[in-house]
Structure 1
Amino acid sequence: MNHIHHHNPLDQKLLNKIAFLDSRQREQLIPPEALISQMPIQKNHTLLDVGAGSGFFTIPMAESTSGKVYAMDPDKRMLSVIQDKAKEKGLANIELIQDYIESLSIPNSSVDFVMASLILHEVSSLTKALTNIFEILKPGGHLLCLEYEKDDLIIEGPPMSIRIGSEELEKALSSIGFEIVKKTKINDAIYTVLAIKKEQ
């Protein structure tokens, strides 16, 4: 009998995922501090990181504001990783939320800046997710989406079928009422779209 696979394969998978999420390779790909520092975030802003994962963006976001940072992820093990990192860095302004974007309940018009990094291709309804984010944002608040381009030449990243191309994302954002501020290609595979909820 083969006893090699005695440990829980799920745990190993999770550890691998965390290792990947935190890897230097990703740091070189998108230094999170650099990206955050370019964003319209002020010292007293309330921020939300949807699909926070291992806190790749949550931690630098929490360092960039004295306000509250919501870290939302459906996986409570990921949230505990963020909790540990926050403790390590002495950050007390992070609030953990175990939920999906589509059902996220944060008061309407209460958040200044939302980060949605490599999460929108995983939602069950893009329209519902973006509408929810739109409602949570204050008028004048921003949303930064970071996604893989839908380009058959790019192998790395999620399956092509679930990717959201930048044009599709821009259309979806516009149809909900966002105004596109800026679109940036981070590298061959990844782009960002910065959108604003216009003041009425």
Structure 2
Amino acid sequence: MNDKRFDPARIAKLDNPERRKNLPPEQLLDLLGLTGSEDILDVGAGGGYFTFPAVERTSGIVYALDAQSAMLEYLKSRMEEQKIGRIKIIEGEAEHIPMEDEKVDAVICSMVLHEVDPPDQGLREIQRVLKKGGRALCIEWEHVETESGPPQNHRISSSEMSRVLEGMGFKVLSRQPWTEAFYSIVFEK
């Protein structure tokens, strides 16, 4: 297992009141400007922090991708409990998304790219699966020292992320801090 990956045994940490206060999924999803019929890919879906709010916003399919089967099993059990359809679970890595080209209208990638080695490989895969004109929402750790989170050398600053995205041909639509530790970037193919 990649030593940068989140430990599935700590899944409860991914969905708690403090995290919801700092990273409100509904407000973050608003940044994508969804119209209600998009097919959406949630890269690093984990327990469904963004997957479940996303499925409420579209009549399309929400693809929940994660590299860790334990995370996907947890997400699947939540889907069954809540009797939610239109979520398709996919086991795979951000570096090699098992999906055809230009498959989705929107991508959510929350706290994942700092785990991808190299991060630009994950961005190339997002670019590949995103339809022309499609949008992506990326939430990441700012390159600052904080009490929790990954080591600073695993983090990607918001300015560096913008530079990389623009260098790849994406159009950065917004970049904003949510706390001193987290930022979001919305970009378009």
TM-score (norm 2): 0.92
Cα distance between partner residues in 2 of 1:146 and 1:156? 16
Could you tell me how far 1:162 is from its partner in structure 2?
A: 0.7
Task: Show the counterpart of 1:191.
Answer: 183
Cα pair 1:63 1:91 within 8 Å, conserved: no
Task: Show the counterpart of 1:108.
Answer: 101
Task: Show the counterpart of 2:152.
Answer: 160
Could you tell me how far 1:89 is from its partner in structure 2?
A: 2.2
Count of aligned positions: 183
Could you tell me how far 1:85 is from its partner in structure 2?
A: 1.5
Map Cα deviations across residues 144-199 of structure 1 (whole Å, 9 max, x no partner): 110111023x33211001101111111111111111000011111100010000xx
Hey, which of these two has a bigger chunk of helix by percent?
1
Could you tell me how far 1:111 is from its partner in structure 2?
A: 0.6
Task: Show the counterpart of 1:53.
Answer: 46
Q: Which sits farther off after the overlay, 33-42 or 77-86?
A: 33-42
TM-score (norm 1): 0.87
Structure 1 stretches of 4+ moved >3 Å: none
Could you tell me how far 1:30 is from its partner in structure 2?
A: 1.5
Seen in structure 2, the aligned counterparts of structure 1 residues 119 and 125 have a Cα distance that, compared at 3 Å, is same
Whose relative contact order is higher, 1 or 2, with alpha carbons under 8 Å and at least 6 apart?
A: 2
Secondary structure at 2:102 match in 1:
coil
Cα-Cα RMSD:
1.3
Gaps of 5+ in 2: 1-6
Query: Aligned to 1:118, which of 103, 111, 136?
Result: 111
Could you tell me how far 1:54 is from its partner in structure 2?
A: 1.0
Gaps of 5+ in 1: 1-12
Cα distance between partner residues in 2 of 1:40 and 1:89? 26
Q: Identity over aligned residues, as a percent?
A: 35
Task: Show the counterpart of 1:3.
Answer: none
Task: Show the counterpart of 1:34.
Answer: 27
Secondary structure at 1:156 match in 2:
coil
Cα pair 2:95 2:122 within 8 Å, conserved: yes
Could you tell me how far 1:46 is from its partner in structure 2?
A: 0.3
Q: Residue type matched to 2:120 in 1? A: T
Task: Show the counterpart of 2:120.
Answer: 127
